[in-house]
Structure 1
Amino acid sequence: MTDPVIDLRGVTRRYDDGPPALHDVSLTVKPGDSVAVLGPSGSGKSTLLNLIAGLDRPDEGTVTVAGTRVETLGEAASARFRRAHIGLVFQFFNLLDDLTVLDNVLLPAQLAGGSRKQAHDRATGLLHSLGIARHADAYPGRLSGGERQRVAVARALVNRPALLLADEPTGALDTASGDDVRRLLNDLHDSGQTIVLVTHDLRLAEACATRTVAMRDGRAEEER
């Protein structure tokens, strides 16, 4: 039996004396799953994503990603783990404007070490497969929103992560660019990439997700 990519058990996270941001959440994501996490602002979606990514730690429960208990890792070890196993895509791209498109994509591979040639080949291959190779030497500020999000996805995939986490990946895009990103994420899922995406975009969830988790008041409810 294949081990899950994500296994959360009884996870609770509190930030103050009020109700917990997450309360007793358990979630399993298998290899090849594409899971959309839906819910209103303040429902716990971003907290859930941050715990999976090792950017935050639970007060109770365990968070296992790719076989590693990420809540037990120190800050440096957590950063190394993310570089090796998790690709992150954000609503506002988080690209470095003073680096070219190619250099933005290469950056995680350079931080991880390893062969420069292999990293360069992987990065250029991703730019070709995502249809943005012609922009390799351009700077992000000269690209459209949809093109910048494709660069962000290429950067997230350059280290061949077991898991792709996407936080509102269409939230800052116009309709046409959002449609491009929906098709891209759907293609990635069809290729076998495991994806968890936090979104308000119901069209994105319907297009890309095989499962939907609804967050309400810090609790997770599987919808399908």
Structure 2
Amino acid sequence: MTMPVIELRDVSRAYDEGPPALQRVSLTVQAGEAVAILGPSGSGKSTLLNLVAGLDRPDAGTVTVDGVRVDGLGEAGAARYRRSKIGMVFQFFNLLDDLTVADNVVLPAQLAGTARGEAHRRASELLEILGIGRHAGAYPGRLSGGERQRVAVARALMNRPPLLLADEPTGALDTAAGEDVSRLLSDLNADGQTIVVVTHDIGLARACTRRTVQLVDGRIAADLASEPVR
């Protein structure tokens, strides 16, 4: 039996004096799955994302991603883990406005020590695949929101991560651009990319994932399989 890409076992996390953000959450995501983590504000979605990304540590339980015990990593180890194991796409793109599109995409490979020529070949390939190769020399501020999110996806895929995390990836986009990005995520998953989308948008979850995990008050309230709506 193959090892899951994500395995959380009895994970809990609390902050200050408030109620726990996560309470004994166990979750497994297999290679090739597209999973949406749904829930309102305060349900624990962001905490779960941060734990999987190695940006936070649980108070109890274990977090394993692609064979790496993420909860046991130090700061330097967590940084290496993020470079090699995950790609992240954010609501507000997080692109560097003073770098060209190509240089934004190349950045993760440079941080990982990839040779310059190889990194630029990979960036060019990704930009062409994602339909924005003509913008390689442009600056992000000249692009539409949907185009900027495609650049962000290219950057996230630069180091061929086994896991792509998307945090409200259509939240800052208009309806047409949001539908475009959701189709892109669905197409990436169809090509074998494991994807976890964190969102409050049921429509996005239905459009680009085949499984929805509903969080309520830090606990998994439902875990349902479905077919994406095209």
TM-score normalised to the size of structure 1? 0.99
Residue type of the alignment partner of 2:92: F
Corresponding residue of 1:197 = 197
Corresponding residue of 1:165 = 165
Corresponding residue of 1:142 = 142
Corresponding residue of 2:224 = 223
Residue type of the alignment partner of 2:207: A
Q: How many residues align?
A: 224
Corresponding residue of 1:10 = 10
Deviations 1:132-160 (A, max 9, x none): 00100000001000000000000000000
Gaps of 5+ in 2: 226-230
1:89 aligns with 2:89: yes
Quote the offset at 1:208 in angstroms: 1.1
Q: Secondary structure at the match of 1:41?
A: coil
Quote the offset at 1:16 in angstroms: 1.4
CA RMSD of aligned residues (A): 0.7
Cα distance in structure 2, aligned partners of 1:170 and 1:140? 17
Q: Secondary structure at the match of 1:223?
A: strand
1:78 aligns with 2:74: no
TM-score normalised to the size of structure 2? 0.96
Deviations 1:152-189 (A, max 9, x none): 00000000000000000000000110011011000000
Corresponding residue of 1:214 = 214
Quote the offset at 1:210 in angstroms: 1.1
Task: Indicate if the aligned counterparts of 1:34 and 1:195 stay in contact, CA closer than 8 A.
Answer: yes
Quote the offset at 1:114 in angstroms: 2.3
Corresponding residue of 2:52 = 52
Give me the identity figure in percent.
73
Cα distance in structure 2, aligned partners of 1:89 and 1:180? 15
Cα distance in structure 2, aligned partners of 1:203 and 1:40? 14
Residue type of the alignment partner of 2:38: L
Q: Secondary structure at the match of 2:172?
A: coil
Residue type of the alignment partner of 1:117: G
Gaps of 5+ in 1: none
Cα distance in structure 1, aligned partners of 2:80 and 2:220? 28
Residue type of the alignment partner of 2:108: P
Residue type of the alignment partner of 1:9: R
Q: Secondary structure at the match of 1:192?
A: coil
Q: Secondary structure at the match of 2:36?
A: strand
Cα distance in structure 2, aligned partners of 1:11 and 1:177? 35
Please identify runs of 4+ aligned residues in structure 1 that moved more than 4 A: none
Corresponding residue of 1:24 = 24
